[in-house]
Amino acid sequence: MMDSIPRLGFGTWGRTGADGVAAILCALETGYRHLDTAQSYGTEQSVGEAVRQSGLKRDEIFVTTKIKVDNLDPGKLLPSLRQSCDTIGVDQVDLTLIHWPAPHGRIEPQIYLEQLAEAREAARTRMIGVSNFTIALVEKAEAILGKGAVATNQIELNPLFQNRKIAEVCGKRGILVTCYQPVAQGRMGDIEQMRLIAERHEATVEQVALAYELSKGYAAIPTSSKPERIRSNWQAHTLALTAADIEAIDALPQSSRAIDPPGAPLWD
């Protein structure tokens, strides 16, 4: 199941309006075949428009969307996903994730995870997964949905925040880790070790970060509004880091997570 998710995708947070469509179209023209959107981003329409303008066939593009917290209540998830499909202009998406577990445990995971399974049975999504799930929640999701049902856990992860505990658990369970904030919002240039590795490979620090994540078997979904950065990030899939490079990045001092909203789960 995991193997059908393209490992280097294009994130669409902030890619709204005509400029957003242009950036997503640039990503598709560059070679990205995985677009990551969400109900809460307001970019599902931009994704649909870019896909139509690209001239690519529907089955050539892997589309992920994420269910927002407001749509986790009983009876809400499937209608909201139907709306997402209509907004994108597709019959089904390739992957649907629970964007965040219900804040403060307001809704039992069983309630929204069972609805997610229903959405797959209704053929509104080919695959299902989760995002921002802790070890305990991943274990619960597998118990509810069955082994192999959870395609991915999308989490904050980059060389400066390697989020190792949950990443290791997902790896052992055969759940793909998808990294958001994969280039740490441009903070990588402040790290001498990253700069040195980038110089040795005649690469950017962002390319090094993405190549590192890909070398670990993760998927990554960088985003940008700038065509040159979109193209540069894409080239990360051709960058082969050495074992010494990976070891040096593994050993970097770790910062705290950048995305930690009120109501987030108790992190591992």
Annotate 143-193 with DSSP letters as a single string.
Answer: HHH-TT-EEEEEEE-BTTB--HHHHHHHHHTTPEEEEESTTGGGGGGG-HH
Count of C-beta atoms within a 10 Å radius of residue 143 = 12
Euclidean distance between CA atoms 117 and 27, whole angstroms: 31
Q: How far apart are the first and last CA of the chain?
A: 26
Euclidean distance between CA atoms 104 and 264, whole angstroms: 7
Helix (H, G, I), strand (E, B) or coil at 263: coil
In 3D, which of 36, 51, 148 has the Cα closest to residue 99?
36
In 3D, which of 61, 40, 233, 79 has the Cα closest to residue 49?
61
3-state helix, strand, coil in the chain (%, to 5): 50, 15, 35
Exactly one of 32, 41, 112, 212 is catalytic; which is it? 41
Q: Confirm whether 41 is a catalytic residue.
A: yes
Pairing of strands 176-180, 219-220: parallel
Euclidean distance between CA atoms 266 and 244, whole angstroms: 34
Annotate 57-85 with DSSP letters as a single string.
Answer: -GGGSEEEEEE-GGG-STTTHHHHHHHHH
Q: Which residues are catalytic?
A: 41
